[in-house]
Amino acid sequence: MPGCRRFGDRRLILIILLILVLALAVASTAPTHSFFSRTTTVSRNVISFGTWGPVPSVCKVCPCFGVSGICAWAVFLYGNNLCKVSSIKLVKGSTTVVAKKLWHIGDGVLYCVFNLRSVPGGSYDIVAKTASGQETVVYRGFQVIGCGGGGGADLAAAAQATTVAEDPLKFKLAVRNDDPAYLVANVQGPLRSRFVSASLVANGTRFDGSVEVVTGSGCRVKFAREGIAPGVYDLLLNRGDESSLLLENSITAAPAPTGRPISLSGVSPNTGTEGLEVEFLVTGENLEGCGRVALVGGTTILEPKRTAGAQQNGLSCVFDLTGAPAGVYDLVVRGADGSQATLAGCFTVVQQPALVSPPPTPAPPVVPDDTPAVQPSPVPVPEPVIVSVTPDPCYSGTLVQFAVDGKGFRQDMKVKLAGGGRLMWPVGCRFASEARLECLFDLAGALPGAYQLVIVEPDGCDNPFVGAIEVIQAEARRAD
C-alpha cells in the first residue's frame, strides 16, 4: 500500500538520523589520539594530557598563590617534560604576566619568578610555551592576592597564609666566605614569620641549606660549600606554609679559603726613592692567588702598578712612588679568601736628593797685549767676465732669452741691454751659476743695429766687461 510504504520510509529515515546523532555524541565524548590533536581533561586545578607525545604537564605548584605588590615572587612547578618549556606566563582575561626568570631543575622541576608589583588579584591560568611555539594551559586557579581578588574559601585561606610576605628590597645581607666548609649569610629585615629552609638558585642549579638562628630582625642561613661554584646566587627563603621569599642576586660566593694562612717574612729591597718606580720581592708562605697588595703609611695607601710571579713563597710587585710621602710603610697582603697578613714597618720611602749645581769656573785673567792687531787682508772678489752671448744675432719685435756665459757672476748682479739710442731692462733674470746668467728681453720696438749687454754691479755702476750682440730687422728674418 502506498501509504504504508511512505510511513516505512519515514521510519527508516528517522532510525538513520538517530544512529547518526548517537555516533556524533559518542565521538564528542571519547578521547581522540592522533598525531595532530590531543584531548585534555581538567581535574581540579591540574591539566593532564593524553599519552601521545611528550608534552609538558604539571602535578603540583608550590606555592599555589602569589601576592600582588611583590616584585619577585618565586614559584616551583613539579611535573613531567618541563625541560621543553621555554616560557611561563600567568593569564587572566587580557592580563598576562610573563615570568622574568625561568630555570630548569632537571626534567621535573621548573623554577619561575614573577613580578607581581602591579598585577591585579584574581584567579589565573598558568600557560607553558615550548620551543616549537605551542602554548598549553598546565594549571588553573593560581590565586593572586590583592585588589580585585576572586574571594572564596581557598582565596581567604591563601590570604591568611601570606599575610607575612615581605618586600625583598627591605632586606640586607652580610655574607661570610671565611669558612672553608660552609657558606654563611646573615639576613637582616622585618621577619614576621619563621623560615624553615633556604636555597641558593642560579642558572638552573639549586643548593638547599638550613636556617639556624631566627630572631625578630633577621636570621642566619648556612650552606655546605660542596658543589657551590664562585658566583652570584639568588636566596630563596621558604616558610612552613609553602610560601617563600626571594632575594635576587643577594649572595656572592667567593672561593673557599685554603685553610693555610698567609705569612710574610720580608721585602727586598726595602727602600725606594720618592718620584721613582721600585720593584721588590715579597717573601713568605701561601702567597699564591693573593687578591690585593698595598703599602700603608698613615693615611697614605699605595696600590701596585703591577704584580707578577705570584708563587707560593714569593710575590713580585712594582710600585710607582710619584707623590708618595717619605716615611715608613707597612705591607698588607690579602688573599682571595679574605685572609690578610701585615708586615709592619718593612718598607721605607726616602726623599729624592736635591740636585746641587757645580760652582762656576772662574774666567782667566785678562792680560793686556800691546801687539798691534793684524787686520785680515780682504778677499779679492773676481771681476765678472763675459765670454759669449747667445743667440747672436737676434730679431727685433720678439721675446729673446739670452744665455750669458763667462765667469765671476754673482746673484746680486743685474743685466741691461743698450743700443739704438735705447736702454732696455730684462723681463726676467736668473742666476744659473758663477759661469752663466739667463735673462729674457722684450725687443719690441728695438731698431736694427749693434747692442751691448752690460752687467750692472750692486752699487749701480756698469761693469766695463760687456757683450756685443746684433739685432736684425724682423722682415729680414722672414726673408731668410
pLDDT in tens, 152-201: 344 334 433 333 345 556 677 778 777 777 888 888 876 656 778 888 88
Residue type, 191: L
Q: Which CATH superfamily is 263-350 part of?
A: Immunoglobulins (2.60.40.10)
* pTM exceeds 0.85: no
Residue 6: what pLDDT?
52
**CATH architecture, domain defined by 168-253:** Sandwich (2.60)
Whole-number mean pLDDT of the chain?
A: 75
Q: Which helix (H) or strand (E) holds 436?
A: strand 436-442
Q: CB burial class (10 A; 0-12, 13-18, 19+) of residue 389?
A: buried
Residue type, 139: Y
Three-state secondary structure call for residue 23? helix
Q: CB burial class (10 A; 0-12, 13-18, 19+) of residue 421?
A: exposed
Instruction: Give the C-alpha separation, 447 to 173, whole Å.
Output: 114
Q: Which CATH superfamily is 41-161 part of?
A: Immunoglobulins (2.60.40.10)
Instruction: Give the C-alpha separation, 139 to 125, whole Å.
Output: 6
Which of the four CATH numbers 3.40.190.10, 2.60.40.10, 1.10.287.130, 1.10.8.60 does domain 385-479 have? 2.60.40.10
Please give the average per-residue pLDDT across 261-287, as a whole number: 86
Lowest mean pLDDT segment, chosen from 6-10, 92-96, 167-171, 315-319: 6-10
- The label of the residue with cell 502506498 reads 2
Where are the CATH 2.60.40.10 domain residues in the chain?
Answer: 41-161, 263-350, 385-479
**Contact, 283 vs 266, CB < 8 A?**
yes
> Measured between alpha carbons, how far is residue 335 from residues 268, 311, 340, 347, 418 in Å?
21, 13, 6, 20, 101
Strands (E) in 177-259, as ranges, are: 182-188, 195-202, 205-215, 218-224, 231-239, 244-253
Instruction: Give the C-alpha separation, 68 to 98, whole Å.
Output: 14
- The single-letter DSSP state of residue 205 is E
Take residue 457 and report the three cell numbers written for it.
754691479
Q: CB burial class (10 A; 0-12, 13-18, 19+) of residue 298?
A: exposed
Report which of 118, 120, 123 is spatially closest to residue 151, judged by C-alpha positions.
123
* 34: confidence class by pLDDT, cuts 50, 70, 90: very low
Report which of 30, 32, 58 is spatially closest to residue 44, judged by C-alpha positions.
58
Residue 327: what pLDDT?
92
Please give the average per-residue pLDDT across 48-52, as a whole number: 39
Residue 347: what pLDDT?
94
Please give the average per-residue pLDDT across 44-49, as a whole number: 43
Q: Which helix (H) or strand (E) holds 80?
A: strand 73-80
Taking the CB of residue 434, how many other CB atoms lie within 10 A of it? Answer: 14
Instruction: Inform me whether the pLDDT recorded for 40 exceeds 50.
Output: no
